[in-house]
Structure 1
Amino acid sequence: MSSDESNGVIEMKEGIANAGFEDGQDGDAGADIYEEVVEPGAAHPQPYAGMPKEVLLLYSGQARYRLPREILFWLTVLSTLALVVVTATVIALSPRCLSWWQASPVYQVYPRSFQDSDNDGIGDLKGIQSRLDHFEYLNVKAVWISPFFKSPMKDFGYDVEDFREIDPIFGTMEDFENLLAAMHDQGLKLIMDFIPNHTSDQHEWFKLSRNRTEPYTDYFIWHDCQNTSLGTVPPNNWVSVFGNSAWQYDAERQQCYLHQFLKEQPELNFRHPDVRREITDVIRFWLEKGVDGLRIDAAKHILEAKHLRDEPQVNPEQPPENVTAYWQLHHDYTTTQLGTHEIIQEWRAVMDEYSREPGRYRFLMTDSYDGGEIEKSMMYYGTPLVKEADFPFNFYLVELLDAMSGNGAFSLVNTWLSNMPKGRWPNWVIGNHDMTRLSSRAGKAYVNVLNMLLLTLPGTPSTYYGEEIGMENVNVTESEIQDPLGKFNVSMNRDPGRSPMQWSSDDNASFSKNKTWLPVHPDYKTVNVETQKNASWSTLRQYRALSLLRTAEPPLHRGWMCLVWSDNNTFAFLRELDGFPAAFLVVLNFGAAATVDLSSALPGVPPQLRLRMSTHHPGSGQLVSLGQVRTETGEGLVLEYAAGHPVHSHPAFQDQCYVSEKACYLSTMGILHSNC
């Protein structure tokens, strides 16, 4: 193309020919391409950037280009299929992940005594929120809070006036919602104490029931009784847990109502369908709020026999009029009645409705101390087909505190594990708000070894506030008693184990700035959280180290447990996981200093073990001979060794080893599987 500047005419000239260019003519993309692009006998055009599709197709069909492409395609297909198969296999063989209530200790907060935020001397919900970092320090993820419902406080919250309101002593519903949100933000779960068995006599339901307002007339257990100037003649000989008759005459209704606890705590009638509906609605109310779990208080008392017969006396020769104490009767008609488990199964079904959201499992535990009839406790686990509680509270270890010995620990642990239904999850409790603190009951020398026992046994340990620093019972004079039960019977006073939490050596142990509802223990200057955080191997730092160890080592939180030794002084057990390279021998001293030879008792365990932790000194890594394991009074050892042939598979240990859910470790991939 050129331009003639003189006349402005543009003249078209012939361009350069390109043999690889096709001028939009119709043609075959097959064999004719070659003929159109290249003259017969001419050489193939060389590939070049921007080549048209005809040249590209000319080369892509050649074997040297086609075969690698097909090989890569089929390799991709096969790799994808293999990945799908491997993923499906891993999922199918993987054991169920531990839920939050299995992976962490449960820490009990008694709200009156944990932290006071408004300086009225009584702990509250805002106070708990201000101390959430303490749970993080302890590596605790589950917090159980004792009752904070609106209440006249005749039994410090276990007498509920309104199930849907917060008592002003503890704060407001907004305070509760803020606490729950803050806990969830920090990865913590909140378990509420729930008291369905009875209400306060100030509850609206009871007020309407006593004047026979429908539909509340039969919401409680009412029965005709004789009331004279000489006193009330009750319908039968049933005795309250707190002593004396379980029946109280009501002048307004002119009948007696049943109370298995204080007379201010009338029993709900769970044979009335409206009562069951009302309590289920209350459960839904708190689950809607976002509560993560419930502890069902006094579960075994929910139903009573309809026939109201006298309960048999423990001593048949005792004059009936002298039977005034709870332990003087066999409680065949007031505990664990037919239908009790059906009610709890209904509540479990409600909890499951709210557990469908991933990561929001709603936990249920029952308080149902069986007084030595362990088969009754085990029933609260449910059946293989019908779920009930995730676990019933296990109070058996409490008995160890009154008679410390290795044989005693062995027996109590074995009692629970050998009776527990297959595949269920154990739990362990040593103290709570109704008991003497373990430091005062067992002695200071045994606090650390008892915490080690709790945190190395299989299952979920429960820790009462203050036990992580070794708090002791406080001395409460008769004039200082706050506990309603203690006012009724000084010998049953529970105040000593409920003293304010000891946070620091400042005034009132930093629980409150002005006053405290119970005296602070005089040892708070040295026994407190702040001081023990800075001490080299304090009770607090040991508790934290054990909690972290339990989380870090799979054999400790989900492996086998084998009972291997006990004598008057020493209790020893193994924790191991099939395929995992390390296993642990836990040796605990509950008596006098002792040396034990475990070499013959543990076939296949190496003769030298490495000290992972001792309650008596912070050192670790030292070698300990299996033939000479030395423990001082109250000392606990966690010893680690290279796992070989699993001890639980040895014939001699077939009846001494327990696991809730089998799992094996695949070291090549670093994963767990269930194909054991």
Structure 2
Amino acid sequence: MKIVMDLPVSSVSLNHPWFKTKLAHRFIVIDQRSPAYNNNEKFYDFGNGTKYLGYPNKNNPVLNWNNFEVKMSIFEAVKKYLEMGVDGFHIDHISMMAVDANGNPDHDKAIVALKNLTASIKDFLTNHTELQDKKIALFSSLRDIEDLHAQAQETGDLHYVIDNSFTTLNNAKCGDSTANCVHDALDKAYQRYSANNYTPHWQFSNPESSRLASRFDSDTAHLLNFMQLTLPGAISLYYGQELGMKDAKFNGNPTQRGVMQWSPKGEDHHGFLSESGIDQLFFGENEEGEGDDNYDTQYFRELSPLKVYRKLAKLRQRDEALVVGTTVRDKLVDDVILYGRYARDANNTVIGNAYLVALNFGNEEKTVDYDYQAVEVVPKSKDLAKAEIAVVTIGVDKYKSREKIDLTANKLVLPAKQGILVRI
């Protein structure tokens, strides 16, 4: 197991001692002479006729990376955590490591600031007798300035970038066709990976966005989880996503940062506490009493979102085709997204298993009559008559895992909002 952590480099909270003691030189602060002084959407009152830059909002004062104390404080924190055994850092909002007079990101200077930080980290490891052989991961999220992340990875300062574009999708944004919405998001993601040579890293839920099962109905959320686990590269799952957990409530307000639901709702707050009798927690909690989105309930069911997740996770560990293999996608047909996953050797020969992923995002049952005529989603060297059902979503009754199927003679039947992974 490896441990990685968030490394906040661009801003702090309003409760930080630097901010509370008004150490203005450690923040991006302007006075009335600045042309941006009246921009109340970026700059906020700091007292004595000055304003501070906040990003992404006023609750996060932006640090001044031209200040020596700022650089040294963050670097000292990095050294401390490396010596404690941390294996990597998620460096977010790197665009704000350098800004112009109006508070807009200065891409070139931000890259220089990032490069200085990552170079310091590497130098520290190289010169540390106990850590010089340690390999760490440095990464960011594709949440603010896309071009900047591409440039950062090209220079070798970041090992990969988390694609969190799916965290912004919801029923309202997708409108009448979730299939089109998801297919378009995949298209854009693959274009980024192709153009910028990214290593794919998929994130569908995170601490800053509403939970997947609150943005979509439970079946669609489960299908999206299924899809995420069949995509290439690395994946990032937010705790409880594998159970279909929804947003909780804290003081009457919705929050995605609720307690992990180990058991049905009870006096021990979904099993979050080892004892009962404590009324109020410092965390949100799902108020639905009859929900089955908890670990204990799903663990003892033969087929549940948790069991599907476990099957796919184990399969990803066993078969490199699902992690590093090629992905060949077909066009969207009748709300069905279809793609193949397989690996090739140095001679371009297909090795090991090939997989066919079929996802029905529509509201009606669909049939998939698979052939080789349009796009070679599955290599022609594979015998479709000897296919096998690998994993299905919880609403598929027609097929069972390890069931043999002849795709040359039978159409795949996909119930509404369900998916199938076929091994060939």
Match for residue 502 of structure 1? 261
Q: Is the 8 A contact 1:248 1:263 kept in 2?
A: no
Identity %: 22
| Structure 1 residue 563 displacement after superposition | 1.2
| Matching of residues 161-176 of structure 1 within 5 Å | none
Distance 1:200 1:376, change over 3 A: closer
Q: Map Cα deviations across residues 302-356 of structure 1 (whole Å, 9 max, x no partner).
A: 2220x33xxxxxxxxxxxxxxxxxxxxxxxx523533112222233334434666
Matched, 1:194 2:3: no
Aligned length: 390
Scaled by the length of structure 1, the TM-score of the pair is: 0.53
Q: Is the 8 A contact 2:142 2:164 kept in 1?
A: no
Q: Map Cα deviations across residues 60-117 of structure 1 (whole Å, 9 max, x no partner).
A: xxxxxxxxxxxxxxxxxxxxxxxxxxxxxxxxxxxxxxxxxxxxxxxxxxxxxxxxxx
Aligned AA (2:407): S
Tell me the distance in 1 between the aligned counterparts of 2:289 and 2:302.
19
| Structure 1 residue 234 displacement after superposition | 6.6
Distance 1:334 1:225, change over 3 A: same
Tell me the distance in 2 between the aligned counterparts of 1:521 and 1:456.
32
Aligned AA (1:199): V
Q: Map Cα deviations across residues 103-135 of structure 1 (whole Å, 9 max, x no partner).
A: xxxxxxxxxxxxxxxxxxxxxxxxxxxxxxxxx
| Structure 1 residue 445 displacement after superposition | 1.0
Aligned AA (2:66): R
Match for residue 105 of structure 2? 335
Q: Is the 8 A contact 1:405 1:567 kept in 2?
A: no
Distance 1:458 1:523, change over 3 A: farther
Corresponding residue SS for 1:285:
helix
Distance 1:202 1:406, change over 3 A: closer
| Matching of residues 468-479 of structure 1 within 5 Å | 468-474=242-248
Matched, 1:591 2:368: no
Match for residue 212 of structure 2? 438
Tell me the distance in 1 between the aligned counterparts of 2:15 and 2:132.
40
Distance 1:457 1:351, change over 3 A: farther
Q: Is the 8 A contact 1:194 1:297 kept in 2?
A: yes
Q: Is the 8 A contact 2:30 2:50 kept in 1?
A: yes
| Matching of residues 263-412 of structure 1 within 5 Å | 263-305=58-100, 307-308=101-102, 333-335=103-105, 337-353=107-123, 360-370=134-144, 374-381=146-153, 383=154, 386-402=155-171, 403=174, 405-412=178-185
Q: Is the 8 A contact 1:407 1:570 kept in 2?
A: no
Q: Is the 8 A contact 1:219 1:272 kept in 2?
A: yes
Distance 1:238 1:343, change over 3 A: farther
Greater relative contact order (Cα < 8 A, sep 6+) = 1
Scaled by the length of structure 2, the TM-score of the pair is: 0.83
Matched, 1:564 2:333: no
Matched, 1:222 2:29: yes
Tell me the distance in 2 between the aligned counterparts of 1:336 and 1:634.
44
Tell me the distance in 2 between the aligned counterparts of 1:623 and 1:414.
30
| Structure 1 residue 640 displacement after superposition | 1.2
Match for residue 429 of structure 1? 203
Q: Map Cα deviations across residues 267-305 of structure 1 (whole Å, 9 max, x no partner).
A: 211123442233222212211211111112322222220
| Structure 1 residue 434 displacement after superposition | 1.9
Aligned AA (1:410): H
Distance 1:524 1:358, change over 3 A: farther
Q: Is the 8 A contact 1:303 1:337 kept in 2?
A: yes
Match for residue 312 of structure 1? none
RMSD of Structure 2 on Structure 1 (CA): 2.7
Distance 1:439 1:397, change over 3 A: same
| Structure 1 residue 455 displacement after superposition | 1.0
Match for residue 383 of structure 2? 606
Q: Is the 8 A contact 1:502 1:524 kept in 2?
A: no
Tell me the distance in 2 between the aligned counterparts of 1:236 and 1:277.
32
| Structure 1 residue 539 displacement after superposition | 0.6
Tell me the distance in 2 between the aligned counterparts of 1:359 and 1:462.
26
Corresponding residue SS for 1:249:
strand
Corresponding residue SS for 1:465:
coil
Corresponding residue SS for 2:190:
helix
Q: Is the 8 A contact 1:190 1:292 kept in 2?
A: yes
| Ranges in structure 2 where 5+ consecutive residues have no aligned partner | 345-349
Tell me the distance in 1 between the aligned counterparts of 2:93 and 2:65.
14
Of 598-607 and 449-458, the range deviating more from structure 2: 598-607
Matched, 1:451 2:225: yes
Q: Map Cα deviations across residues 461-501 of structure 1 (whole Å, 9 max, x no partner).
A: 1111111111122356xx534xxxxxxxxxxxxx3322211
| Structure 1 residue 439 displacement after superposition | 1.2
Q: Is the 8 A contact 2:328 2:339 kept in 1?
A: yes
| Ranges in structure 1 where 5+ consecutive residues have no aligned partner | 1-187, 211-215, 227-232, 241-245, 309-332, 482-494, 642-676
Q: 1:581 aligns with which of 349, 352, 363?
A: 352
Match for residue 401 of structure 2? 619
Corresponding residue SS for 1:509:
coil
| Structure 1 residue 574 displacement after superposition | 0.9
Tell me the distance in 2 between the aligned counterparts of 1:236 and 1:190.
43
Corresponding residue SS for 1:218:
helix
Match for residue 414 of structure 1? 187
Q: Is the 8 A contact 1:610 1:623 kept in 2?
A: yes
| Structure 1 residue 531 displacement after superposition | 1.4
Q: Is the 8 A contact 1:299 1:368 kept in 2?
A: no
Q: Is the 8 A contact 1:589 1:631 kept in 2?
A: yes
Q: Map Cα deviations across residues 214-250 of structure 1 (whole Å, 9 max, x no partner).
A: xx65221222239xxxxxx97142514xxxxx22131
| Structure 1 residue 438 displacement after superposition | 1.1
Q: Is the 8 A contact 1:509 1:524 kept in 2?
A: no
